Amino acid sequence: MKIIAHRGLSGFYPENTMLAFKKCLNLNIYGIELDVQKTKDNQLVVIHDEKVDRTFNGTGYIKDMTLKEIQTLNSSFKNYENNKDCKIPTLKEVLLLFKPTNFIINIELKNNKIKYKNLEEDVINLVKELKMERKVIISSFRMKTLNKLKAISPKVPRSYLISEKFYKYRLKNMIFYRAIKNDSTYISPNYLISDKKFINKCHRRDIQVLCYGVNTIEEYEKLLKLKVDGIFTDFPNILSSIN
């Protein structure tokens, strides 16, 4: 089972920060997952929300701030407010951290709420500049984004994310056929909507299933029995020890 650290070791450290990613380096896991947004001056930065408010000591949208402004913010995670490794990193910084390792980096493009101009192109260009095409998976909840990625760089693996709203089999089926048409290597559903029939169907067409939101041993064991290919978890240290 592939264990992927969701936003780094985010169960213990501030999510999507260099500290949370560095804490994964010694773990025996498949890779890490991170989220990408774009600043006012077109810089790719790693943060989950469109706004800084939940995780940093500031307020406002990433799209309205420059990289310089963003880098002045500190984490609002208790006891990590003054930690220099707990700022908002650039995508380049995180990719360079993992470049010398065997880790796979799942880059989620967060353009489902804000349509950042050229987000797909900018991410692919950076991945190519760093020669990391074989070390990344690019995921999105938007098929339009995945189709654009296929057009600009067909060989970089893509993953179609499915939220729990798609729990009905009919809806999952629709996602499945879109993923087939896109030649997605992976489908990444919320673990709550993963069922045997759907997983088998994906496997018959060589699509791997990576479930997200898996944070307990019980959930992990259930998915192991269903033969999912991998999971995203906030506790990769715990789940990798029983893997």
CB-based contact 118:73 (threshold 8 Å)? no
Residue nearest to ligand G3P (CB): 212
- Using the minimum distance from each CB to ligand G3P, give the nearer residue, 50 or 69: 50
- Answer yes or no: 203 catalytic: no
Nearest to 51 by CA among 73, 21, 81: 73
Which residues of this protein are in contact with ligand G3P, per CB under 6 A? 6, 33, 35, 108, 139, 161, 188, 212, 232
| Residue 48 C-beta: closest distance to ligand G3P, Å | 6
Provide, rounded to whole angstroms, the least separation between the CB of residue 6 and ligand G3P: 6
Between 11 and 81, name the residue whose CB sits nearer to ligand G3P: 11
Whole-angstrom distance, CA of residue 35 vs CA of residue 218: 26
The CA–CA distances, whole Å, from 27 to 13, 24, 67, 137, 241 equal 15, 5, 31, 19, 9
**Of 188 and 194, which has the nearer Cβ to ligand G3P?**
188
Question: In terms of CB distance, is 72 or 171 closer to ligand G3P?
Answer: 171
Contacts of 119 (CB under 8 A, 6+ apart): 36, 38, 44, 109, 111, 145
CA distance 166 to 171: 5
Rounded Cα–Cα distance for residues 159 and 34 (Å): 13
Separation of alpha carbons 7 and 232, rounded Å: 9
CB of 20 to ligand G3P, least distance (A): 13
Which of 2, 22, 40, 48 is flagged as catalytic? 48
Q: Could you tell me the CA-to-CA distances from 68 to 163, 164, 201 in Å, in that order?
A: 33, 36, 47
Q: Least CB distance from residue 105 to ligand G3P, whole Å?
A: 12
The residue from 3, 5, 6, 62 that is catalytic is 6
Active site residues: 6, 48
